[in-house]
């Protein structure tokens, strides 16, 4: 294998081209890598995972509707056609802006001419990291498989539990946070217990599972217009979810959610109340907003570092009215493509000894969609508001269309058609991968 090239050799092949380092292959990073013109630069993309994750469907993996493989695609496969691009599976430990250098957790460093930071968001617990153990969040495939295991295990334990109080507790699920993730988790868990699992158990009636959705604000889906919020609430209640609005969570313990006026015992607690930017942002030394997002300039570059850009859920991109683009996939993709234009212009201008134009990023809101359950959803497209079955079909079409990779799209579609007509969930498999074998080989 001596004729193999290592990465350094690849870089040497086009030493005259500027080097772009992209951190994170979520929607923003992937859109950047796909849209960047050929032949202008060498690109290195870094991600901790070997796959791009279609996060909008992660809740389906957590609730046993889809397999992990259905919503993930290897990054190397997605970017295979780019010969000017190298993929590196590693974590980022530091960005040294002054030195134009990135440090990786495998000890290597990468020097860059342009840096694109699209590391996304993670679950945050508002200063209560100890809650993570009792109320897992939903950001990665591993999170989803963990929640799936805990949900299914609760029914298994309830089936053989003889103490009726503990049995009721095991059959109670609390979802904290009434945003899109919380709404779809609560709705789908209610469906799972009422329409799917109820035939599986002899001793318990899983259809009697209590699903509670706790939201601190006066309504669910706070970013949606009032009529759609009300519709979402009604659709949730129709599925059997108890929606608790204006309710604050004071503390979370094992199997217990403590609120100012009461305490709820629950076998499963799911946290959908908070995401914050990747912790790396705090080490950059640039201004951040309260959620840790980088307060980028209107062109998405970092203040003081014109060659460094941030996009996706990690960037707080304000428009002329001071509104921040929302943390959704379409915004992330738009940012990724905006950064493409700036860097490509910059490189082309530099060749002529000029400076590239720097148009501001403008988020184009093409509409909002939130799903609640099988044939339940709300949708807003411009001035049009839909809910129920029609919104659900719109949601289905949009998500299938954007799901990366033909094979996955077909497989997911087949799973949905099957589960729609039979009310089955095929992924009800409890995995228990023990990865305590620290060494990877």
**CB–CB of 54/75 below 8 Å?**
no
User: 136 or 292, CB closer to its own copies?
Assistant: 136
The CB-of-200 to its own copies minimum distance in angstroms stands at 4
User: 321 or 439, CB closer to its own copies?
Assistant: 439
Reported for 340-349, long-range contacts at CB under 8 A and 24+ positions apart, including other chains, are: 340/31, 340/32, 340/35, 340/36, 340/37, 342/299, 342/300, 342/301, 342/309, 343/20, 343/36, 343/41, 343/114, 343/116, 343/309, 344/36, 344/37, 344/40, 346/114, 346/307, 347/18, 347/40, 347/41, 348/40
Q: Cα 134–135–138 angle (5° rounding)?
A: 140
The beta strands (E) that lie in 130-200 are given as 172-176
The CB-of-31 to its own copies minimum distance in angstroms stands at 21
The CB-of-72 to its own copies minimum distance in angstroms stands at 5
User: 140 or 375, CB closer to its own copies?
Assistant: 140
Indicate if 169 belongs to the active site: no
The CB-of-291 to its own copies minimum distance in angstroms stands at 25
User: 254 or 290, CB closer to its own copies?
Assistant: 254
User: 321 or 434, CB closer to its own copies?
Assistant: 434
The CB-of-417 to its own copies minimum distance in angstroms stands at 11
Q: Is 246 exposed, middle or buried (0-12, 13-18, 19+ CB in 10 A)?
A: exposed
State the first-to-last Cα distance of the chain, in angstroms, to the nearest integer. Answer: 21
The CB-of-404 to its own copies minimum distance in angstroms stands at 12
Alpha-carbon torsion, ordered 45, 102, 295, 114, to 10 deg: -60
Query: CA 231, CA 386: separation in Å to the nearest integer?
Result: 9
Q: Which of 3, 99, 161, 184 is catalytic?
A: 184
The CB-of-227 to its own copies minimum distance in angstroms stands at 35
Query: CA 208, CA 172: separation in Å to the nearest integer?
Result: 9
User: 159 or 345, CB closer to its own copies?
Assistant: 159
Query: CA 277, CA 122: separation in Å to the nearest integer?
Result: 6
Whose CA is closest to 110, among 21, 48, 42? 21
User: 72 or 280, CB closer to its own copies?
Assistant: 72
The β-bridge partners of 114 are 20
Query: CA 318, CA 218: separation in Å to the nearest integer?
Result: 26
Query: CA 430, CA 290: separation in Å to the nearest integer?
Result: 37
The residues assigned a catalytic role are 184
């Amino acid at each position: 294998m001596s004729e193999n090239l290592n990465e350094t050799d690849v870089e040497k092949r086009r030493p005259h081209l500027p080097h772009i380092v992209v951190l994170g292959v979520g929607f923003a990073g992937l859109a950047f890598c796909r849209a960047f013109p050929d032949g202008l630069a060498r690109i290195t993309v870094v991600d901790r995972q070997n796959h791009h994750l279609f996060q909008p469907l992660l809740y389906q993996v957590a609730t046993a509707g889809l397999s992990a493989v259905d919503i993930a695609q290897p990054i190397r496969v997605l970017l295979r056609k780019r010969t000017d691009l190298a993929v590196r599976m590693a974590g980022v430990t530091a960005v040294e802006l002054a030195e134009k250098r990135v440090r990786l957790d495998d000890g290597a460093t990468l020097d860059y001419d342009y840096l694109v930071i699209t590391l996304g968001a993670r679950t945050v617990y508002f200063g209560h990291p100890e809650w993570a153990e009792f109320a897992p969040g939903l950001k990665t495939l591993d999170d989803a498989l963990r929640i799936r295991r805990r949900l299914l295990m609760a029914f298994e334990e309830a089936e053989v539990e003889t103490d009726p109080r503990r049995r009721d507790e095991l059959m109670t699920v609390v979802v904290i946070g009434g945003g899109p993730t919380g709404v779809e988790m609560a709705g789908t868990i209610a469906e799972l217990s009422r329409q799917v699992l109820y035939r599986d158990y002899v001793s318990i009636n899983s259809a009697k599972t209590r699903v509670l959705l706790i939201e601190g604000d006066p309504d669910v889906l706070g970013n949606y217009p009032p009529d759609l919020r009300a519709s979402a609430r009604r659709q949730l209640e129709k599925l059997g979810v108890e929606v608790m609005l204006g309710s604050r969570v004071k503390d979370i313990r094992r199997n217990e959610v403590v609120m100012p006026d009461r305490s709820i015992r629950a076998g499963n607690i799911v946290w959908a109340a908070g995401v914050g930017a990747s912790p790396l942002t705090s080490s950059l030394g640039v201004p951040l907003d309260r959620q840790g997002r980088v307060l980028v300039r209107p062109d998405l570059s970092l203040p003081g570092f014109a060659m460094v850009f941030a996009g996706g859920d990690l960037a707080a991109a304000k428009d002329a009215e001071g509104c921040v683009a929302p943390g959704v996939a379409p915004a992330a993709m738009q940012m990724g493509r905006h950064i493409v234009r700036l860097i490509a212009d910059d490189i082309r201008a530099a060749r002529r000894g000029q400076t590239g134009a720097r148009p501001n990023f403008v988020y184009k809101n093409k509409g909002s969609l939130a799903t609640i359950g099988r044939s339940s959803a709300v949708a807003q497209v411009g001035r049009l508001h839909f809910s129920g079955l029609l919104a659900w079909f719109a949601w289905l079409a949009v998500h299938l269309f954007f799901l990366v990779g033909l094979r996955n799209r077909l497989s997911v579609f087949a799973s949905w058609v099957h589960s729609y007509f039979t009310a089955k969930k095929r992924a009800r498999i409890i995995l228990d991968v023990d990865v305590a074998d620290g060494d990877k080989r």
